């Protein structure tokens, strides 16, 4: 049976190298820089170079680990600072975009040609619809500002709805898309009249009482008719036609319009101090 015996050659070689190094150091100290010793020392350095390189490659990951651990707190703090700066910048950009949007809404509200000389009360929307069952919104003006129940409410795009409840400083506006909303309308191209009824859920309105023979084009503007005893003054944009069909034998067309106002995103409005009695 063969017995494995570890050779002592590597340990002998290492011992020899160490002794050589000690000898060279001693000679260097006594020789005052003789060329012989310098040459021997250079040779020893060349001989030990692979050993040093191997040791460096083994211990470098450990050194890097401890360096990283010592500086981890600084890196974390720097990352937190950069994230905070990024969040602040994004917030500033969002605020600027919102301010620009509000400015555009105010500019649109400033020049309402369809209002004419009707007195108005400017207001800001403070509460939007909470559900699809009751399509109303609240504004920050009430009786103290001259707002009364039944008044029409508009924005830059056209008709928003009608005031249905008023307090001293707040008013509730029923949107034109509410299921209980009915608006007398007129087709701008032909003058044909009808009634635009809200459908509750969704954003479109149905226009009833349009003669089947009347030509109705997609994209045609529909405005308030302003007929006698109407709750709204004439000429206010209500919507655009998105579909118009006539069933065989039907007494009226099926006309669908989309509001000209982006009701879920309306920000500023004007209350028209107008009514049939005025």
Same structural domain for residues 98 and 200? no
3, part of any domain: no
Same structural domain for residues 91 and 22? yes
Beta bridge mates, 138: 127, 172
For residue 24, name the pLDDT band (cuts at 50, 70, 90): low
Task: Give the lowest-confidence range in 67-76, 97-106, 127-136, 173-182.
Answer: 97-106
pLDDT tens, residue by residue, 250-263: 999 999 999 999 98
Higher local confidence (pLDDT), 80 or 273? 273
Task: Name the residue among 185, 149, 208, 165 with its Cα closest to residue 259.
Answer: 185
Using left for φ > 0, alpha for ψ between -120 and 50, and beta otherwise, residue 149 falls in: beta
Q: Mean pLDDT over residues 78-103, rounded?
A: 65
Provide the domain limits for residue 56. 10-110
49, part of any domain: yes
Whole-model pTM?
A: 0.63
Higher local confidence (pLDDT), 170 or 83? 170
Question: Does residue 249 surpass a pLDDT of 70?
Answer: yes
179, part of any domain: yes
Query: How many structural domains does the chain have?
Result: 2
Same structural domain for residues 189 and 96? no
**Residue 156 belongs to domain with CATH number:** 2.40.10.340
Same structural domain for residues 102 and 123? no
Q: What pLDDT shows up at residue 80? A: 73
Q: Mean pLDDT over residues 57-69, rounded?
A: 56
Q: What pLDDT shows up at residue 184? A: 94
**Residues of the chain with pLDDT > 70: what percent?**
61
Same structural domain for residues 134 and 65? no
38, part of any domain: yes
Same structural domain for residues 46 and 184? no
Q: What pLDDT shows up at residue 101? A: 54
Tell me how far apart the alpha carbons of residues 218 and 198 are, in angstroms, rounded to a whole number.
19
For residue 79, name the pLDDT band (cuts at 50, 70, 90): confident
């Amino acid at each position: 049976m063969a017995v494995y015996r570890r050779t002592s050659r590597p340990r002998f070689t290492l011992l020899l190298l160490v002794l050589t190094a000690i000898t060279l150091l001693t000679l260097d100290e006594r020789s005052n820089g003789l060329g012989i010793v310098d040459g021997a020392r250079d040779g020893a350095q060349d001989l030990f170079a692979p050993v040093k390189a191997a040791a460096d490659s083994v211990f470098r990951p450990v050194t890097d680990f401890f360096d990283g651990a010592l500086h981890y707190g600084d890196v974390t703090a720097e990352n937190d600072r950069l994230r905070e700066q990024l969040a602040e910048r994004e917030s500033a950009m969002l605020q600027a975009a919102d301010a620009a949007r509000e400015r555009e809404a105010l500019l649109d509200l400033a020049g309402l040609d369809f209002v004419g000389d009707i007195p108005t009360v400017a207001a800001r929307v403070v509460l939007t619809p909470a559900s699809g069952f009751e399509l109303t919104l609240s504004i920050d003006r009430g009786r103290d500002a001259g707002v009364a129940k039944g008044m029409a409410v508009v924005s830059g795009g056209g008709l928003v709805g009608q005031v249905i409840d008023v307090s001293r400083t707040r008013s509730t506006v029923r949107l034109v898309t509410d299921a209980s909303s009915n608006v007398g309308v007129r087709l701008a191209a032909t003058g044909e009249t009808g009634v635009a009824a809200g459908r509750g859920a969704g954003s479109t309105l149905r226009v009833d009482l349009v003669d089947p023979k009347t030509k109705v084009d997609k994209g045609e503007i529909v405005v308030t008719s302003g007929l006698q005893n109407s709750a709204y003054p004439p000429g206010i944009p209500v919507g655009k036609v998105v579909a118009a069909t006539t069933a065989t034998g039907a007494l009226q067309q099926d006309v669908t319009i989309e509001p000209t106002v982006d009701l879920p995103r309306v920000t500023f409005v004007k209350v028209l101090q107008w009514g049939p009695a005025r």
